[in-house]
Structure 1
Amino acid sequence: MAIKPLADRVLIEAAPEKEEKIGNIFIPDTAKEKPTVGVVVAAGPGKVADDGKTVPMQVKAGQKVLYGKYSGTEIKDGGKEYLIVRESDILAIVE
């Protein structure tokens, strides 16, 4: 992996979308909603507080998370699509 998040940013691999079919009609990719669940691939060291101390991250690699629908920046690396979001954009850890 050539991507290492900085500060309070998290690299997420979005969960694969399920192919939707209503009756005999397939829903095209452009009409599907963006996924909001993914797996944390890497996390930065944490945010630096006003007093100079680093606040550690609450998420770590391998955890399944729920994030905001329109959060982050989409990137591609090695044929895979990832999302870089701030830790504050992560809504919950899914267990």
Structure 2
Amino acid sequence: MARRLVPSLNRILVEKIVPPSKTNTGILLPGKTSRLNSGKVVAVGSGARDRDGKLIPVAVKEGDVVLLSEYGGTEVKLGDKEFFLYRDEDILGTLYE
């Protein structure tokens, strides 16, 4: 049975994007290449509530590619995959092509 995690409140489940270690032609890329710390949003919570009880929705949606801070997030392992849980305010931005 496969597990699915639905984040609580304003949390976001992200799968980090790992840059390729070699090109399509087989050339190995050095390990110190500058890379963006980014990930793909897998699931989002319903949002947090303000003092008046009004729902504040999460700013991203499933499938968005987001920019992440270098440190942070809680590592979660589901099956053989690694994911990270972030709060909505820890997401630095959304990346578009």
TM bucket by the smaller chain? 0.7 to 0.9
Matched to 1:3, the amino acid is L
Match of 1:53 in 2: 54
Q: Answer yes or no: is the 8 Å Cα contact 2:49–2:56 preserved in 1.
A: yes
For structure 1, which runs of at least 5 residues remain unmatched after alignment?
none
Q: Answer yes or no: is the 8 Å Cα contact 2:17–2:40 preserved in 1.
A: yes
The correspondence of residues 45-84 of structure 1 with structure 2, limited to 5 A, is 45-84=46-85
Q: Which runs of 4+ in 1 moved over 2 A?
A: 17-22, 31-35
Q: Secondary structure in 2 aligned to 1:16?
A: coil
Q: Give the whole-Å Cα distance in 2 for the aligned partners of 1:84 and 1:55.
A: 18
Deviation of 1:32 after TM superposition, in Å, equals: 9.1
Deviation of 1:18 after TM superposition, in Å, equals: 3.1
Query: What is the percent sequence identity of the aligned residues?
Result: 35
Deviation of 1:75 after TM superposition, in Å, equals: 1.1
Match of 2:16 in 1: 14
Question: Normalization by structure 2: what TM-score?
Answer: 0.79
For structure 2, which runs of at least 5 residues remain unmatched after alignment?
22-27
Q: Give the whole-Å Cα distance in 1 for the aligned partners of 2:91 and 2:33.
A: 21
Greater share of strand residues, 1 or 2? 1
Question: Normalization by structure 1: what TM-score?
Answer: 0.81
Q: Answer yes or no: is the 8 Å Cα contact 1:36–1:66 preserved in 2.
A: yes
